[in-house]
């Protein structure tokens, strides 16, 4: 007997709707999850919503439980926290995180869910996918004690990176953004703040997460000789110029990319995707991450809210979606 559910679909670029879904009961080694919260990140998911995934990246950008194809109709998302309703002994009642789209109930293999530690509130656990991205970034370009570091772009990914960097002894961490209001978020995260023109230079490492050409150029300017720029921005189908003239070569600067799709090479032989996600969830015991949730709505409101999030100026940090206890759309 199928179980009634509802899911958010991108009908066409910039337009969404709630659709009915039929969920099969869990079989052996599977769990039925009732969603408590899901999350909307301002980065990749907004590019998907607006239909800006390049055709060459359709396969690479598929979410684990995506249905449909880019640019739409497509069911997309990857930040979901819920409670197990049915499953193997020991699983019912457990709070779990899953890389599942916005849907009220779903059935997945046990291996697809990660238990949320008891010290992490479910409402905060929905940030796990973004913190996991930050963890992978710092595995890609590990900072050293005492490093001078700038994080350019105070979006959700940049802020998560900044908070993790703040825990490294002796580091100078400065969050850089064109929006001076982000200074309040930086204070909550325990790091410094500056607008681009006031940012401190001579950096050993700069993490770029603004997804703008101006931010990328400023990131290179802030580096000390032989410093490293870690590029976390994903530009979708936009062409971006990188200023490699003037003193770029004589200063021997390094530019490298980081993407969460694969575990960073430095840890790939010893850490799985599951290990990395479990670490991200443990790190979310830190209440400072609560400062990153900028808004909240009910699941049924998503079709009206998503277009506003896509065009918000300044862009929101992170939006949390709340589901009713009955797990339906109403």
Looking at the structure, tell me whether residues 253 and 302 fall in a common domain: no
Same domain, 62 and 100: yes
- Is residue 237 located within the same domain as residue 183? yes
241/20: higher pLDDT: 20
Sheet containing 15-23: give its strands across: 15-23, 3-12, 74-75, 67-68
Residue 327: inside a domain: no
Asked, for residue 156, whether it belongs to a domain, the answer is yes
What is the pLDDT at residue 327? 42
Same domain, 146 and 206: yes
Q: Does 318 lie in the same domain as 234?
A: no
Picking from 38, 49, 40, the residue whose alpha carbon sits closest to that of residue 15 is 49
DSSP secondary structure of 229-240: EEE----TT---
Q: What is the pLDDT of residues 41-77, one digit of tens each?
A: 877 899 899 999 999 999 989 999 999 999 999 999 9
Query: Is residue 283 within 8 Å of 167, Cβ to Cβ?
Result: no
Q: Are residues 195 and 118 in the same domain?
A: no
Contacts of 10 (CB under 8 A, 6+ apart): 16, 48, 49, 68, 71, 72, 73, 74, 75, 76
Q: Are residues 136 and 123 in the same domain?
A: no
Q: Residue 141 is part of a domain; what is its CATH number? A: 3.40.50.720
Statement: residue 315 has pLDDT above 80: no
The region, left, alpha or beta by phi > 0 then psi within -120 to 50, assigned to residue 202 is left
In a domain, 262, yes or no: no
- How far apart are the C-alpha atoms of 176 and 154, rounded to whole Å? 6
Summarised one tens digit per residue, pLDDT across range 74-101 is 999 999 999 999 999 999 999 999 999 9
pLDDT in tens, 27-37: 999 999 999 99
Q: What is the pLDDT of residues 193-245, one digit of tens each?
A: 999 999 999 999 999 999 999 999 999 999 999 999 999 998 878 888 888 98
d(CA 126, CA 213) in angstroms, rounded, equals 30
What is the DSSP code string of 131-183? Answer: HHHHHHHHHHS---TT-EEEEE--SHHHHHHHHHHHTSTT-EEEEE-S-TTHH
* Enclosing domain of residue 189: 132-257
Q: Is residue 277 situated within a structural domain?
A: no
Residue 49 lies in a domain: yes
Residue 329: pLDDT band with limits 50, 70, 90: very low
328 within domain boundaries: no
127-150: average pLDDT: 96
| Average confidence score pLDDT of the chain | 94
Cα gap 128→205, rounded to integer Å: 24
H or E element in which residue 11 lies: strand 3-12
On whether both 189 and 292 belong to a single domain, the answer is no
Residue 14 shares a structural domain with residue 123: yes
The answer, yes or no, to whether the previous bond of 164 is cis (omega within 30 of 0) is no
Q: Say if residues 64 and 99 touch (Cβ distance below 8 Å).
A: yes
pLDDT tens, residue by residue, 211-223: 999 999 999 999 9
Of 242, 257, 272, the residue at which a domain comes to its end is 257
d(CA 243, CA 264): 26
Choose the final residue of a domain: 257, 292, 309.
257
Distance CA 123, CA 115 (A): 14
More confident of the two residues 253 and 1: 253
Q: Is residue 47 part of a domain?
A: yes
Q: Are strands 113-115 and 95-98 parallel, antiparallel or unpaired?
A: antiparallel
Q: Please name which of 118, 120, 113 lies closest in space to residue 96, comparing C-alpha atoms.
A: 113
Domain identity same for 29 and 76: yes
Q: What are phi and psi of 79, to 5 degrees?
A: -130, 95
Same domain, 146 and 197: yes
Radius of gyration of the chain (CA): 20
Residue 37 DSSP label: E
| pLDDT of amino acid 325 | 57
Phi, psi of 290, deg, nearest 5: -60, -25
Cα 241 to Cα 212, 214, 216, distances in angstroms: 10, 9, 9
pTM of whole model > 0.85? Answer: yes
pLDDT mean over 142-168: 97
The domain that holds 67 is classified in CATH as 3.90.180.10
What are the tens digits of pLDDT across the range 4-17? 999 999 999 999 99
Residue 326 has pLDDT above 50, yes or no: no
In a shared domain, residues 214 and 312? no
Q: How many domains does the chain have?
A: 2
pLDDT at 175: 98
**Residue 73 in domain:** yes
Tens of pLDDT, residue by residue over 241-262, are 888 988 899 999 999 999 888 8
């Amino acid at each position: 007997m199928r179980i009634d559910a509802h899911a958010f679909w991108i009908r066409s670029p910039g337009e969404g709707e709630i659709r009915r879904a039929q969920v099969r009961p869990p079989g052996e080694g599977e769990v039925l999850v009732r969603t408590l919260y899901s999350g909307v990140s301002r980065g990749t998911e907004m590019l998907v919503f607006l239909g800006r995934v390049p055709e060459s990246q359709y396969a690479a950008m598929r979410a684990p439980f995506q249905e449909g194809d880019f640019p739409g109709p497509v069911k997309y998302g990857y930040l979901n926290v819920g409670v197990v309703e049915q499953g193997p002994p020991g699983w019912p009642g457990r709070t779990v995180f899953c890389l599942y789209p916005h849907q009220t109930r779903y059935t997945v293999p046990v291996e697809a869910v990660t238990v949320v530690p008891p010290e992490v509130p479910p409402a905060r656990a929905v940030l796990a996918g973004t913190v996991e991205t930050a963890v992978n970034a710092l595995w890609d370009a590990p900072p050293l004690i005492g490093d001078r570091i700038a994080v350019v772009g105070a979006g959700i990914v940049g802020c998560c990176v900044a908070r993790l960097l703040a825990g490294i002894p002796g580091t100078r961490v400065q969050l850089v953004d064109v929006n001076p209001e982000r200074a309040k978020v930086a204070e909550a995260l325990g790091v410094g703040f500056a607008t681009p023109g006031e940012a401190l230079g001579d950096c050993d490492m700069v993490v770029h997460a603004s997804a703008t050409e101006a931010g990328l150029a400023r990131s290179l300017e802030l580096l000390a000789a032989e410093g490293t720029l870690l590029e976390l921005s994903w530009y979708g189908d936009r062409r971006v110029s990188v200023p490699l003239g003037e003193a770029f070569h004589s200063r021997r600067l390094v530019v490298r990319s980081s993407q969460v799709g694969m575990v960073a090479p430095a840890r790939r032989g010893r850490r799985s995707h599951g290990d990395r996600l479990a670490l991200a969830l443990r790190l979310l015991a830190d209440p400072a991450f609560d400062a990153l949730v900028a808004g909240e709505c009910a699941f049924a409101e998503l079709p009206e809210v998503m277009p506003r999030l896509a065009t918000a100026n300044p862009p929101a940090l992170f939006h949390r979606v709340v589901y009713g206890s009955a797990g339906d759309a109403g």
